[in-house]
């Protein structure tokens, strides 16, 4: 499908035109005859489920990947960047989902690294201050990246792009680490850029944001354009169903009585083993059988440290953490799994999975004990393969088979596999950090339903997430991590977004006072 005069967004002067672009890899066609247009100043959403071909497409636009066939035009002229530096020179910039910043360097030094011919540092610092203030994203050029919040780090990435005076800005999941207040600031900046004529190609799984921000949307499914729409004229559910080509059923909560406390954490304080990490300070909470505790917070406020402390990778005094009433603070990960606690960390590559190992091997890594995948000290490969195939089937993991390396999967499909690996172990206590990170709307709904099913079956579940909608959908109780401190858990029912935003911004005293009233 190619761009036509009737497509959304063509009322504006045309900036980018994609015509018949195709890219294939061994065994898979990532993009097939892709075509659409983006107008100058248009905020254009690129939507699709995991594996739909969005990443490959924007990599071609940014010069990271070369198309097999088809054509691109920028400002009406043929456009075929051989590398990102050429794309940037022609006015195309990109803010990636995962930041590419050096924590031990300053803001100005990081910005300089992204420039072909950076000016003297003092001049660059002046330009950073001026541009950041002009677009409502104030930054101190002398601060170390390691000392910045996730929202401030994103500002660095955006300012680095804006200093190039781009005409097309590609943004991949830009709000995944931001508070509601920071999202509003970002949207004001993007609207200002749009008013000045900069086009924005916007990728996000947060469909309500798409409805709020975007002028037009192109929907991909299995590498092909399957439709276009004006987001404000469609509901989030309608767009999600266009993406997957099927009717979606929202997660259903099965109400039931809560049991006795299965996980108890008392005055937990641990130093962070992560450079520029955040120490946990007097964290306390309980989770009962059948209950889901949602823990929110902007990235970098202790979420990774909390996962490490709960999983057993960070040990503490025995009584600081109890599983089913038994002291477990000094147990390692294997002993905690034996006691009935499983954990899924945020980092897919290197922490949750061994990227170069097959899915079968990765299935064994954490499930060998609880699924009894070894006998007499030897791995039962037939049983382990059957378990990997069970995960693939139950969680709709798009892969040629269980023998492919973990790194060969898209991020969203690997996420589905890793969450399935933990939830299928039958544990009584489940801890998950970012359960739907980078997955599409249908997969996110399916994972959330699986979490609710585990709670309905009697598991105590802790969900750590930066997605507030997700937490409000699955949680019974809600708390916020801020600078390593946890607010007192409160029932989700009755919480307003304003209250949540204040809690995420560090209003501990206000939250506690409200709770006590």
CA dihedral sign of residues 70, 72, 77, 78: negative
**343 and 379 share a domain?**
yes
pLDDT of residue 506: 64
**50 and 193 share a domain?**
yes
In terms of phi and psi (left: phi > 0; alpha: psi -120 to 50; beta: otherwise), the region of 312 is left
**362 and 498 share a domain?**
yes
User: How far is residue 119's CA from residue 115's CA, in Å, rounded to a whole number?
Assistant: 9
Tokens of residue 70, six digits: 């088809």
CB count within 10 Å of CB 274 equals 13
249 assigned to some structural domain: no
**239 and 266 share a domain?**
no
Residues 6+ apart with CB under 8 A from 158: 95, 135, 137, 186, 189
347 assigned to some structural domain: yes
Q: pLDDT tens, 432-484?
A: 999 998 787 788 888 999 999 999 999 999 999 988 888 999 999 999 999 99
| Average pLDDT of the residues of the chain | 89
Task: Please state the rounded mean pLDDT for residues 80-99.
Answer: 90
User: How far is residue 344's CA from residue 303's CA, in Å, rounded to a whole number?
Assistant: 12
User: How far is residue 433's CA from residue 451's CA, in Å, rounded to a whole number?
Assistant: 12
DSSP code, position 397 = -
Task: Decide which of 50 and 193 is more confident.
Answer: 193
Task: Please state the rounded mean pLDDT for residues 62-74.
Answer: 96
Tokens of residue 254, six digits: 């099965």
pLDDT of residue 497: 79
User: How far is residue 368's CA from residue 180's CA, in Å, rounded to a whole number?
Assistant: 40
Residue 115's φ and ψ, nearest 5 degrees, are -110, 145
**293 and 371 share a domain?**
yes
**211 and 283 share a domain?**
no
CB count within 10 Å of CB 89 equals 13
Q: Picking from 8-12, 175-179, 211-215, which range would have the lowest pLDDT averaged per residue?
A: 8-12
Only one residue has tokens 């409502």, namely 136
Domain final residue pick, 201, 218, 244: 244
8 assigned to some structural domain: no
270 assigned to some structural domain: yes
Residue 88's φ and ψ, nearest 5 degrees, are -65, -40
**229 and 302 share a domain?**
no
What is the length of the chain? 517
Bridge-based pairing of strands 292-296 and 280-288 is unpaired
Domain final residue pick, 198, 217, 244: 244
User: How far is residue 274's CA from residue 251's CA, in Å, rounded to a whole number?
Assistant: 35
253 assigned to some structural domain: no
Q: pLDDT tens, 262-297?
A: 999 999 999 999 888 899 999 999 999 999 999 998
Query: In 3D, which of 118, 116, 109 has the Cα closest to residue 88?
Result: 116
**312 and 220 share a domain?**
no
453 assigned to some structural domain: yes
User: How far is residue 462's CA from residue 478's CA, in Å, rounded to a whole number?
Assistant: 10
- Domains in the chain, number: 2
Task: Check pLDDT > 50 for residue 1.
Answer: no
Edge to edge, the sheet with strand 69-74 lists: 28-39, 14-25, 69-74, 77-78
256 assigned to some structural domain: no
Band (pLDDT 50/70/90 cuts) for residue 513 is: very low
pLDDT of residue 6: 38
pLDDT of residue 107: 95
Tell me the β-bridge partners of 92.
168
**29 and 107 share a domain?**
yes
pTM of full prediction above 0.85: no
Q: Picking from 94-108, 117-131, 373-387, which range would have the lowest pLDDT averaged per residue?
A: 94-108
Query: In 3D, which of 280, 289, 274, 270 has the Cα closest to residue 341?
Result: 289
Q: pLDDT tens, 172-181?
A: 888 876 777 7
Q: Picking from 239-253, 334-348, 478-492, which range would have the lowest pLDDT averaged per residue?
A: 239-253
Tokens of residue 387, six digits: 């378990």
pLDDT of residue 509: 45
**320 and 220 share a domain?**
no
Band (pLDDT 50/70/90 cuts) for residue 8 is: very low
Residue 95 CA, distance from chain mean position: 14
pLDDT of residue 109: 95
Band (pLDDT 50/70/90 cuts) for residue 5 is: very low
Domain final residue pick, 198, 218, 244: 244
Contact predicate 2/35, CB 8 Å: yes
Q: Which domain holds residue 81?
A: 14-244
**267 and 227 share a domain?**
no
Contact predicate 426/370, CB 8 Å: yes
Tell me the β-bridge partners of 270.
280
Contact predicate 216/11, CB 8 Å: no
The enclosing domain of 367 has a CATH number of: 3.40.50.300
CB count within 10 Å of CB 369 equals 16
pLDDT of residue 112: 93
Task: Check pLDDT > 70 for residue 7.
Answer: no
Q: What percent of the chain has pLDDT over 90?
A: 66
Q: pLDDT tens, 221-263?
A: 989 999 999 999 999 889 989 998 888 777 887 777 789 999 9
**417 and 500 share a domain?**
yes
Band (pLDDT 50/70/90 cuts) for residue 105 is: very high
250 assigned to some structural domain: no
pLDDT of residue 512: 40
Band (pLDDT 50/70/90 cuts) for residue 3 is: very low
pLDDT of residue 459: 96
User: How far is residue 480's CA from residue 299's CA, in Å, rounded to a whole number?
Assistant: 11
Task: Decide which of 299 and 54 is more confident.
Answer: 54
Band (pLDDT 50/70/90 cuts) for residue 43 is: very high
pLDDT of residue 173: 82
Q: pLDDT tens, 385-431?
A: 999 999 999 998 988 899 999 988 877 889 999 999 999 999 999 99
pLDDT of residue 515: 38
Q: pLDDT tens, 370-390?
A: 999 999 989 999 999 999 999
Could you tell me the end-to-end alpha-carbon distance of the chain, in angstroms, rounded to an integer? 59
């Amino acid at each position: 499908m190619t761009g036509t005069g009737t497509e959304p967004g063509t009322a504006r002067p045309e900036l980018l035109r994609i015509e018949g672009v195709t890219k294939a890899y061994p065994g898979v066609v990532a993009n097939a005859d892709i075509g659409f247009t983006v107008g100058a100043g248009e905020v254009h959403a690129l939507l699709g489920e995991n594996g739909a071909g969005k990443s490959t497409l924007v990599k071609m636009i940014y010069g990271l990947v070369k198309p097999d066939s088809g054509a691109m035009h920028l400002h009406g002229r043929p456009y075929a960047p051989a590398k990102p530096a050429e794309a940037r020179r022609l006015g195309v910039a990109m803010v990636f989902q995962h930041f590419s910043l050096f924590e031990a360097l300053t803001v100005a030094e990081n910005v300089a690294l992204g420039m072909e011919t950076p000016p003297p540092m003092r001049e660059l610092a002046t330009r950073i201050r001026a541009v950041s203030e002009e677009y409502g994203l104030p930054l101190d050029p002398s601060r170390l990246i390691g000392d910045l919040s996730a929202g401030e780090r994103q500002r660095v990435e955006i300012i680095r792009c804006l200093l190039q005076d781009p005409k097309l800005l590609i943004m991949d999941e830009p709000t995944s680490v931001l508070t509601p207040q920071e999202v509003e600031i970002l949207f004001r900046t993007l609207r200002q850029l749009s008013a000045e004529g900069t086009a924005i190609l916007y990728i996000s799984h947060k469909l309500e944001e798409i409805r709020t921000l975007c002028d037009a949307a192109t929907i991909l499914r299995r590498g092909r354009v399957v439709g276009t729409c004006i987001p404000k004229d469609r509901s989030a559910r309608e767009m999600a169903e266009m993406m997957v080509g099927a009717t979606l059923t929202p997660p259903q909560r099965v109400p039931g009585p809560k049991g006795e406390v299965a996980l108890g954490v008392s005055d937990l304080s641990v130093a962070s083993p992560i450079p520029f990490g955040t120490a946990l300070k007097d964290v306390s909470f309980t989770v009962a059988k059948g209950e889901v505790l949602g823990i929110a917070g902007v990235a970098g406020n202790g979420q990774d440290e909390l996962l490490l402390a709960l999983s057993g990778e960070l040990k503490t005094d025995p009584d600081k953490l109890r599983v089913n009433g038994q002291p477990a603070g000094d147990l390692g990960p294997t002993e905690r799994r034996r006691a009935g606690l499983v954990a899924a960390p945020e980092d897919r590559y290197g922490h949750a999975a061994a990227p170069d190992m097959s899915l079968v091997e990765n299935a064994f890594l954490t499930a060998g004990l609880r699924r009894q995948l070894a006998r007499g000290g030897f791995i039962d490969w037939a049983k382990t393969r059957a378990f990997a195939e069970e995960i693939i089937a139950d969680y709709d993991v798009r892969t040629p088979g269980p023998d492919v390396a973990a790194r060969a999967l898209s991020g969203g499909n690997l996420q589905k596999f890793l969450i399935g690996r933990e939830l299928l172990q039958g544990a009584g206590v489940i801890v998950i950090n970012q359960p739907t990170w980078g997955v599409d709307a249908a997969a996110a709904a399916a994972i959330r339903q699986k979490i609710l099913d585990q709670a309905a079956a009697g598991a105590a579940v802790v969900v750590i997430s930066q997605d507030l909608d997700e937490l409000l959908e699955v949680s019974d109780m809600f708390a916020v991590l801020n600078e390593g401190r946890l607010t007192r858990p409160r029932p989700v029912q009755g919480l307003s977004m304003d209250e949540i935003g204040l809690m995420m911004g560090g209003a501990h005293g206000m939250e506690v006072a409200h709770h006590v009233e």
